[in-house]
C-alpha cells in the first residue's frame, strides 16, 4: 500500500473531527429553532384556549351575575320604578278565590302536552321547569308546600297584595326523562308579565311604619308562615310586554310554609343548618295553635315561633284592625273556594275555613 493510501483514512477522520462541532452546533441551532417554533405554537394554542375559556367564563359569569342579581337585597338607590306594596283591592267580596290572581284563563290546560325542561335548584322543595304545547312555561313544585301555597296566595291577593300565579294540580303527565306522572303539585306560571329584580328585607324597605307593611305582617302571622327569611321577599317590575306602569312591586313570593304550626323541636335540637321551624299544610296543627297572645304598649303580640320572629314585632293595634276589616270582607264561600282550589278534602276545608274566620274576628276585636 502506498503512503498516500495509508494517509487517506486519517485525512477523512480529521475532516470529520473538524466538522463535528459545526454539525453539532447546527443541529442544536436547528433543534432550538424547532423547539422555539413548537414552543411558540404551543404557547399560542394555550393562549387561544385561555382566551376562549375566559370568554366562556365571562359569558357564564354574566349569566350567573344575572341570576345572583335576583338574589341580592336592593338598596333604595338600586330600586327602579315607584315602590309598591299594596293596592286597593276594590270589591273584595267579588274576587275569585278559586282561580286567584291569574284567573281561569291562565290556569294550566291539562289537555295540553307538558314537557320536562330542567330542574330548578333553588329552595328546599323539589321543583322542575316544564313547557306545555300552548307555549306556556311553568315551575312545578312537589311536596307538602303545594296545597298551602296555593291557598295562601288567594287570601293574600284578596286583600290587595301581589302574589305569583299559582295553581294546584292533582295529576298530570309530563313528557321527558321517560315520561312520568306528577301528582298533587303546584304549577307556577313563568313569564307572567313581571320580571324579578332583587330582594327586600322586613327591616329595611320603603314602607317601614306603614299600615300596608304591618298589614302584610299580620297576614303572615294569620297564615302561620314560619319561613320569613328575606330570600322569599321579591321585588318585581312589569315587563315591557305587559303594558303596566313602571313600578317596583314588593311581595312575598314563597308562601309554602303556611297553614301548619310554627316552632319545631328539630330547630331547637339542631343548632346548625336551617331545619324547618314548623309544619306545612297541617290543618289540625293550624287549628290547635294560638294566634294572638295579647297586646303590649299598643302593639300586638303574635304567638309566632317561626324564623325571624322580630319581623312580626311592633304591629300597632290599629293596623292589625285595619287588616282585620279587609279580611272580614272575604266570605266563607270565598275561603272555601281558596282551600278547595288547593286540593283539600271537605273536612280539612271546613277546619281551615273555621280557623281563618276565627282569627279574622280576633283581629277585629283587638283593643
Please check whether residue 281 is in contact with residue 345, taking contact to mean a CB–CB distance below 8 angstroms: no
Q: Edge to edge, what strands does the sheet with 233-238 contain? A: 82-84, 247-252, 233-238, 194-199
Which stretches within the chain are classed as H helix?
A: 3-70, 146-158, 211-222, 265-269, 283-288, 317-327, 332-341, 346-364
User: What is the structure's pLDDT at 313?
Assistant: 96
Distance separating alpha carbons of residues 263 and 256, to the nearest angstrom = 15
| DSSP 8-state secondary structure symbol assigned to residue 73 | B
What's the confidence (pLDDT) of residue 20? 43
pLDDT along the chain (367 residues), means of 10: 48 42 38 39 45 41 53 94 97 98 97 96 91 97 98 98 98 95 97 92 97 98 97 92 78 97 75 81 98 98 95 97 98 98 98 98 97
Q: What is residue 16's predicted lDDT score, i.e. its pLDDT?
A: 43
Cβ(153)–Cβ(259) below 8 Å: no
What does the block give as the cell for 263?
316552632
Rounded to whole angstroms, the Cα distance separating 69 from 234 reads 12
Instruction: Give the residue extent of every domain in the chain.
Output: 66-364
CA distance 92 to 344: 23
Buried b (16+ CB within 10 A) or exposed e, 195-223: eebbbbebeebebeeebbbbbbbbbbbbb
pTM of the entire structure?
0.80
* Rg of the chain (C-alpha set): 34
Residue with cell 301581589: 162
Rounded Cα–Cα distance for residues 201 and 204 (Å) = 5
Contact 75, 134 (CB under 8 A): no
Parallel, antiparallel, or unpaired for β 127-132 and 114-120? antiparallel
Nearest to 97 by CA among 268, 304, 352, 363: 352
Q: What angle do CA 342, 347, 351 make, to 5 degrees?
A: 80
Phi and psi angles of residue 51, each rounded to the nearest 5 degrees, phi first: -60, -40
What is the Cα–Cα distance from 221 to 199, expressed in whole angstroms? Answer: 21
Amino acid at each position: 500500500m502506498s503512503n498516500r493510501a495509508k494517509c487517506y483514512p486519517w485525512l477523512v477522520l480529521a475532516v470529520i473531527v473538524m466538522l463535528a462541532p459545526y454539525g453539532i452546533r447546527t443541529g442544536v441551532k436547528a433543534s432550538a429553532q424547532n423547539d422555539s417554533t413548537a414552543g411558540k405554537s404551543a404557547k399560542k394554542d394555550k393562549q387561544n384556549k385561555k382566551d376562549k375559556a375566559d370568554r366562556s367564563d365571562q359569558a357564564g359569569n354574566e349569566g350567573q351575575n344575572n341570576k345572583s342579581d335576583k338574589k341580592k337585597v336592593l338598596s333604595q338607590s338600586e330600586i327602579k320604578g315607584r315602590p309598591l306594596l299594596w293596592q286597593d283591592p276594590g270589591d273584595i267580596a267579588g274576587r275569585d278565590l278559586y282561580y286567584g290572581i291569574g284567573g281561569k284563563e291562565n290556569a294550566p290546560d291539562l289537555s295540553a302536552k307538558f314537557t320536562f325542561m330542567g330542574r330548578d335548584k333553588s329552595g328546599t322543595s323539589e321543583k322542575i321547569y316544564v313547557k306545555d304545547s300552548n307555549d306556556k312555561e311553568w315551575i312545578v313544585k312537589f311536596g307538602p308546600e303545594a296545597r298551602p301555597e296555593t291557598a295562601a296566595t288567594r287570601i293574600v291577593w284578596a286583600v290587595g297584595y301581589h302574589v305569583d300565579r299559582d295553581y294546584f294540580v292533582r295529576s298530570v303527565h309530563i313528557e321527558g326523562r321517560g315520561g312520568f306522572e306528577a301528582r298533587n303539585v303546584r304549577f307556577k306560571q313563568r313569564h307572567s308579565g313581571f320580571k324579578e329584580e332583587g330582594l327586600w328585607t322586613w327591616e329595611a324597605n320603603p314602607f317601614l311604619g306603614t299600615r300596608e307593611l304591618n298589614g302584610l305582617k299580620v297576614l303572615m302571622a294569620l297564615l302561620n308562615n314560619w319561613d320569613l327569611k328575606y330570600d322569599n321577599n321579591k321585588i318585581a317590575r312589569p315587563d315591557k310586554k305587559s303594558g303596566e306602569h313602571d313600578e317596583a312591586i314588593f311581595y312575598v313570593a314563597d308562601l309554602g310554609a303556611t297553614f301548619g304550626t310554627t316552632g319545631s323541636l328539630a330547630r331547637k335540637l339542631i343548632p346548625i343548618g336551617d331545619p324547618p321551624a314548623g309544619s306545612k299544610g297541617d290543618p289540625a296543627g293550624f287549628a290547635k295553635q294560638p294566634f294572638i297572645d295579647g297586646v303590649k304598649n299598643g302593639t300586638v303580640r303574635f304567638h309566632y315561633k317561626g324564623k325571624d320572629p322580630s319581623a312580626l314585632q311592633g304591629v300597632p293595634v290599629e293596623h292589625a284592625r285595619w287588616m282585620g276589616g279587609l279580611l272580614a270582607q272575604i266570605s266563607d264561600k270565598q275561603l272555601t273556594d281558596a282551600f278547595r282550589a288547593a286540593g283539600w278534602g271537605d273536612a280539612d276545608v271546613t277546619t281551615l275555613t273555621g280557623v281563618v274566620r276565627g282569627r279574622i274576628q280576633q283581629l277585629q276585636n283587638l283593643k
